[in-house]
Amino acid sequence: MENERATDTASRDGRQKRRRARQYGLAGEWLAALSLQLKGYRILERNYRTKLGEIDIIARKGDWWRSSR
């Protein structure tokens, strides 16, 4: 019985750690996007998934659709 309780507590602690890590990650991504925007970048995509993984932020600076002439 005590072993089951210890396992439940360890499982709960693990979930809490993962949840906290995810929250910190999301806050960090938000701050990174804000920082880029303040520097003049435009956020094109967030959490873009590819076959190889995920790109957290895709940003571009300037008028990329305008001709340079």
Instruction: Give the residue among 54, 52, 33, 35 at the shortest CA–CA distance from 44.
Output: 33
Q: What is the pLDDT of residue 12?
A: 87
Q: What is the pLDDT of residue 11?
A: 83
- What is the domain partition of the chain in residue ranges? 2-61
Instruction: Give the residue among 46, 7, 42, 3 at the shortest CA–CA distance from 25.
Output: 46
CB contact at 8 A, 42 and 61: yes
CB contact at 8 A, 47 and 58: no
Q: Output 42 or 11, whichever has higher pLDDT.
A: 42
- What are 12-68's pLDDT values in tens digits? 889 999 999 999 999 999 999 999 999 999 999 999 999 999 999 999 998 765 544
pLDDT band with cut points at 50, 70 and 90 for residue 7: low
